[in-house]
Chains A and B, each alone.
Chain A
């Protein structure tokens, strides 16, 4: 079996690869969004503690 045949997926290539592509997007999103959330929490924590120090 060669590469082109494999990518063609017996004529269902567009369906198979779009399903797998979408899966990849969802998996990457679920991995990146906690990382971004962590950065946001770090930033919020910093400003929260800073504000707290300013209060008497």
Chain B
């Protein structure tokens, strides 16, 4: 197990191993998402208070969960890169940032679309919404800082420190609905006692959450693989794959890339 992770830390092995994973990850994403959408939009009954508008939950809640998960992932991988000076860890952290920012944006906007018919307003400056908006700014700040510094090692270090400092916002978002009196409803799923939601409404939520989770890792690997090629352009294995002296065209090497490195 550890030997496997150790291998993944090497850009060359990472590139080779993960290349074959991506089609499978897409398949798993669809395996979760199609029944999730079917159950969520068709089978689950309308909510007795919110009518059919509650179906926005099946994209809003997974997006919000992912916005937190990806931030923690980014701070942890950034921290690993900071401590052990590991190139792959920084590539993972940097590649997860745009995905996390887009999920945070999605959580905010779908929340506004849900808030309008239920609360009568698109936006309120309450604790949950404001802390989630700060999360979006943290992601954008991370991306801006990482791209503003030319030296990749300095960029990785500075951005990782920003990510780690910003992670104080994560528990604030999570507990905001309990610590402050807010308009946002409290947790219905992650309660210590029984979840306050009927199984026919819970199943689509779990499936969509699973779909978003696998989807994140899929697009993360796609991003990370291109990123590491560029950073490793001086390494011999990248030269052998994509160098002009190899005499192969880009389209050829792209499809053969996984078999070519052994």
Are the chains A and B members of one assembly? Answer: yes
| Majority SS at the chain B contact face | helix
Interface residue tally of chain B, by bracket?
A: 35 or more
Are B55 and A16 closer than 8 Å at their CB atoms? yes
Complex: chain B residue closest to A18, CB-CB: B113
* Given A10-B51, A23-B63: A45 in contact with B238 (beta carbons within 8 A): yes
- Cα–Cα distance between A17 and B242 once the two chains are bound (Å): 44
Are A31 and B230 closer than 8 Å at their CB atoms? no
* Chain B residues in 8 Å Cβ range of A45: 229-230, 233, 238, 242
- Does B103 sit at the interface, judged by CB under 8 A? yes
Are B106 and A49 closer than 8 Å at their CB atoms? no
User: Which of A15, A23, A43, A53 is within 8 Å of B244, CB to CB?
Assistant: A53
Are A30 and B219 closer than 8 Å at their CB atoms? yes
- Cα–Cα distance between A45 and B51 once the two chains are bound (Å): 54
Question: Quick one: which of B224-252 are within 8 Å of A by CB?
Answer: 225-227, 229-230, 233, 238-239, 242-245, 250
- Cα–Cα distance between A55 and B142 once the two chains are bound (Å): 36
* Given A34-B223, A46-B250: A11 in contact with B106 (beta carbons within 8 A): no
> What is the total of A-B residue contacts with beta carbons within 8 Å?
102
A33 CB to nearest B CB, Å: 7
- Does B114 sit at the interface, judged by CB under 8 A? yes
Residue in B46, B110, B254 whose Cβ sees the most chain A Cβ within 10 Å: B110
Complex: chain B residue closest to A22, CB-CB: B109
- Does B160 sit at the interface, judged by CB under 8 A? no
User: Which of B52, B219, B238, B244 is within 8 Å of A34, CB to CB?
Assistant: B219
A39 CB to nearest B CB, Å: 8
Complex: chain A residue closest to B59, CB-CB: A23
Question: Quick one: which of B22-61 are within 8 Å of A by CB?
Answer: 41-42, 46, 51-53, 55-56, 59-60
- Does B210 sit at the interface, judged by CB under 8 A? no
- Does B64 sit at the interface, judged by CB under 8 A? no
Question: Quick one: which of A1-56 are within 8 Å of B by CB?
Answer: 6, 9-13, 15-16, 18-20, 22-23, 26-27, 29-31, 33-35, 37-38, 40-46, 48-50, 53
Q: Which 3 A-B pairs have the closest CB atoms?
A: A34-B222, A10-B52, A9-B52
**Residue contacts A-B, CB under 8 angstroms, 11 given:** A6-B41, A9-B53, A12-B52, A12-B117, A15-B114, A16-B52, A16-B55, A20-B59, A23-B110, A30-B98, A46-B244
